[in-house]
Amino acid sequence: MTKALIVIGMQKYVKTRIEGGADYKHHQTLTNAPRIIEAFREASLDVIHVLHEDMEPHLPLFSEAEGYPPIEETMAQDQEHVFVKNTASIFSSTAINQLLKDKGISELFLIGWDLHSSILHSVPTAMELEYKVDVVSDAVIGFDFHEHGISADMAYGIILSCIEAEGGHLVDTETLLETIAANEGQEN
């Protein structure tokens, strides 16, 4: 089974929200994501980046906004593909599926921001497209729904439960890194 890491929405806006005191979960994401990216690179596995672009100039992820650029620690290297989406799912407004099919990739590991939208919407679409989907539970970020009285912890738990109920798999960073290290040198 050929694997790929999909890094979703790791953009400056996320760091700005966190530094501004937003309630979020999982606090190790900004540490774990670069470690996972490096492990995939060292194992010569594909790392694919997906940025979110707002279409309205007043929104924080408009292409010219301060929050749009990727976070330095998770930035793509020259040989890595970068897609830009303007929909919830990474599949709806990009050609990522064609790239994955062309490369023979069958298992996706998702990390990054926007657990309640991008990741939640991408998992069922990926499964319908016949990918095995693994969400790295301590390398995804979800914010609260303060306007509805839902904490980040509560939202995080509910969303990950929904992902599992739909057939997605959860893995933690340490288990994933151990698996990659054990398989390094073998055909991916």
DSSP tag of 58: T
Q: Is residue 33 part of a domain?
A: yes
Say what the pLDDT of residue 184 is.
74
Q: Does 156 reside within a domain?
A: yes
- Chunk the chain into consecutive blocks of 10 residues (it has 188) and report each block's average pLDDT, rounded to whole numbers: 95 94 94 98 97 95 96 95 97 97 98 93 96 98 93 95 94 98 69
Domain with 142, as residue range(s), is 2-183
The CA distance from 188 to 181, in Å, is 12
Query: Within a domain: residue 123?
Result: yes
Strands 24-25 and 169-171, by their bridges, are unpaired
What's the whole-model pTM score?
A: 0.94
The reply to whether 107 falls in a domain is yes
Q: How many Cβ atoms sit within 10 Å of the Cβ of residue 106?
A: 14
Residue 185: what pLDDT?
Answer: 54
Q: Is residue 34 part of a domain?
A: yes
Report the pLDDT value the prediction gives residue 106, as an integer from 0 to 100.
98
pLDDT for residue 71:
96
Number of domains forming the structure of the chain: 1
Q: What is the CATH number of the domain that holds 131?
A: 3.40.50.850
